[in-house]
Amino acid sequence: MAPKPKDRTKPPQAASQPPPPIEDLFTSLNKHIQRSEFEQAIKVADQVLSIAPGDEDAIRCKVVGLIKADNIDGALSAIETYKKSPVDFNFFKAYCLYRQNKLDEALSSLKNQERDSATMLLESQILYRLEKLDDCIEIYQKLQKSKIDSLEINSVASLVAAGRASEVQGMLEALRVKATSTFELAFNTACSLIDRNKYADAEHLLLSARRIGQETLMEDNLPDDEIEIELAPIAVQLAYVKQLLGNRQEAAEAYTDIFKRGLADESSLAVAVNNLIAVRGPKDVSDGLRKFDRLKEKDIQNFQLARGLDLKLSPKQREALYANRILLLLHANRLDQARELVATISEMFPHSVTPVLLQAAVLVRENKAVKAEEILGQFAGKFPEKSKIVILARAQVAAAANHHQVAAESLASIPDIQHMPATVATIVSLKERAGDVDGAAAVLDAAIKWWSNSMTEDNKLNVIMQETATFMLRHGREKDAASLYEELVKSHGSVEALVGLVSTVARVDVSKAEAYEKKLKPLPGLKGVNVDNLEKTSGAKHVEIASHDKATDAFEEAKKAKAKKKRKRKPKYPKGFDPANPGPPPDPERWLPKRERSSYRPKRKDKRAAQIRGSQGAVTRDKNEGGSSGAASSASNSKSNQATTSKAAASTSDQPKSKSKKKKSRN
């Protein structure tokens, strides 16, 4: 019989409790905010909004609580939900977009905002991230009148980033602030000293910053690990200063220690890894790649910096990290990965020179020099203001690939250096290798013309003309060389030019060369020398020095007197040695190996085993089987144990028989 079904009637529900009064909720909300319990504050704000959906204070508390709790996506979602409320959330929206690195959108959200100090401070932070540093500095200068805490710290950082480190000291004096007032300001001021190449002063200020930071943070009762993490940027910067001062080994050890301890924020750890790899160079490539892997996004197969780290680093720092990663891949011969990463950073930094240089490096490793020259030339044409280093790289690639004409044209296209002596010499050498002698002569003529019209103090006209004359002589153009030397003599009165003129004109017009030769100053001591008689002599004769020279005799006598003064020291003998009874002399061959000594006698091989003769399978027996067997056993014993002594060999009874058998076999 089936069991009866149980009664599934639901128990009666308790009567719903009425919500707490809204005044109590706001009291609880204020308590959580004062205690920085932002998660609880968000829940209480939701309770208030469930009772009063349009309460502006509750909405504002919820948005700020989400931002304080680092829930930026939730804050943006709440702002979108309550966008129809009368509360203006553009400032909070701009801050959230700034935190998400959506900088252009964040800047547009602040356009219609009132220009108070908070708005201007956020705008300056956005401009700093966008690397619009002059605009950022301008805002900080406007904010100097308002009393904002730590404003000078950000101002110094902006000046350093903008390449205006020389203005830092003047700004601090205008604000009447000491560099050592806080450890953050001391750190930023030390960075400005590094930019001004004052490395020793920067190191001293960084040490002060570390000491001030330790004292300040210990007063706040922070644990030791948190203090070390907070001061990690100072430790990395100290290692960098050691690197700049030439103490590369100490710098490498400091970077390694920071990495091993792991007590550093993400950005400081990334900078330490990057600098360590830069110090090492191509050494320990695999270890460098493993260290870089610690900085990548874990869920992505290809190399990409972790999102939190990517937002904390400046564009220059990110670019340096990616560039060093590519260089390590090239050293490790991982060309496929290097090619993929170059394509990635070309999209990330489209206006930078570094990606195109790295792309050219990858192509050169793939033996595609023509393609590398092409992309470098395209970038130089697209960005003329950044073309100098790119054109120099193109010239280097072309010269290495024996494309001498391309390399010469590249160098000649740089206006700043095309007429400098070193550049002119390089272009001329390249054109000579390409077989373009006329082109090389044209480069020299253009350089002479440029320096003739130049008004610089350090004029190189005489150097260029001298080298041009040498070039003309080298290629058989004596008349052109002579005219250059003649002009040099007239304009500069150079003795070297006059010598060159005489030697050059002598090939064409001897009488003219003699006329110029008279202008040369006579060498002292040559007036009494008859040149004709000197040419007739066979050469200089050897003059024997007198054997009894006074100086030599005096020297020998002094040497003998000095030798007499030396006192004889008693020889030192080994312990227990009696020089009166020295005993037998030591063996003169004691240091030679035994095989090389005259007394060495090699052991004879035992060949007493009976040789089998006759057809296959035949067995021969000796008349004396006992002697044969004894000889065979002795032979096998001597073969198996070659280390037996001569006494043991002599004790065998069959040894004489084996000797007689050897004699018979030889006969």
Contact 491, 513 (CB under 8 A): no
Average pLDDT over residues 268-281: 95
Contacting residues for 254 by C-beta, under 8 A, at least 6 apart: 235, 238, 239, 242
Q: Where is the domain boundary, 121, 141, 160? A: 160
pLDDT of 149 > 90? The answer is no
Residues of the domain holding 359: 285-366
Structure tokens at 214: 């330790």
Q: pLDDT tens digits for 240-262?
A: 999 999 999 999 999 999 999 99
The whole-number pLDDT of residue 563 equals 57
Neighbours of 586 (CB within 10 A): 9
Residue 442 located in a structural domain: no
Mean pLDDT over each residue of the chain, to the nearest integer: 83
Confidence of residue 525 (pLDDT cuts 50, 70, 90): low
pLDDT beyond 60 at 643: no
Q: What is the DSSP letter of 299?
A: T
* Mean pLDDT of the region 598-620: 60
CA distance 187 to 191: 6
Decide if 434 is inside a domain: no
Residue 348 lies in a domain: yes
Query: Of 126-140, 298-312, 394-408, 521-535, which range is least confident?
Result: 521-535
pLDDT at 556 over 80: no
Residue 249 lies in a domain: no
Amino acid at 249: Q
74-83, 202-211, 405-414, 451-460: least confidently modelled range: 451-460
Mean pLDDT, residues 436-453: 94
279 domain residue, yes or no: no
Compute the average pLDDT of residues 100-111.
92
Q: Is residue 555 part of a domain?
A: no
Mean pLDDT of 142-148: 86
Predicted confidence at residue 172, as pLDDT, reads: 93
Percent of the chain with pLDDT over 90: 57
What value does the mean pLDDT take over residues 379-393?
94
Sequence-distant (≥ 6) Cβ neighbours of residue 28 within 8 angstroms: 44
Q: How confident is the model at residue 17 (pLDDT cuts 50, 70, 90)?
A: low
Burial 115-134 (b: 16+ CB within 10 A, else e): eeeebbbbbbbbbbbeebbe
Alpha helices, H only, 162-261: 168-175, 183-195, 199-219, 224-230, 232-244, 248-261
pLDDT computed for residue 362 by the predictor: 97
CATH number at residue 125: 1.25.40.10
50 domain residue, yes or no? yes
Tens of pLDDT along 316-325? Answer: 999 999 999 9
Flag whether pLDDT at 204 surpasses 70.
Answer: yes
Residue 42 has pLDDT above 90, yes or no: yes
Burial class (CB in 10 A: 0-12, 13-18, 19+), 72: middle
Tokens representing 648?
């043991």
Could you tell me if 326 and 342 are in contact, meaning their C-beta atoms sit under 8 angstroms apart?
A: yes
Does a structural domain hold residue 598? no
What six digits make up the tokens of 259?
Answer: 């990495």
Task: Say which residues have a Cβ less than 8 Å from residue 446's Cβ, sequence separation at least 6.
Answer: 419
The whole-number pLDDT of residue 528 equals 67
When computed from its CA atoms, the radius of gyration of the chain, rounded to whole angstroms, is: 46
**Structural domains of the chain, count:** 2
Question: Could you say which of 366, 400, 421 is where a domain stops?
Answer: 366
Among 35-44, 145-154, 450-459, 654-663, which range has the highest average pLDDT?
Answer: 35-44
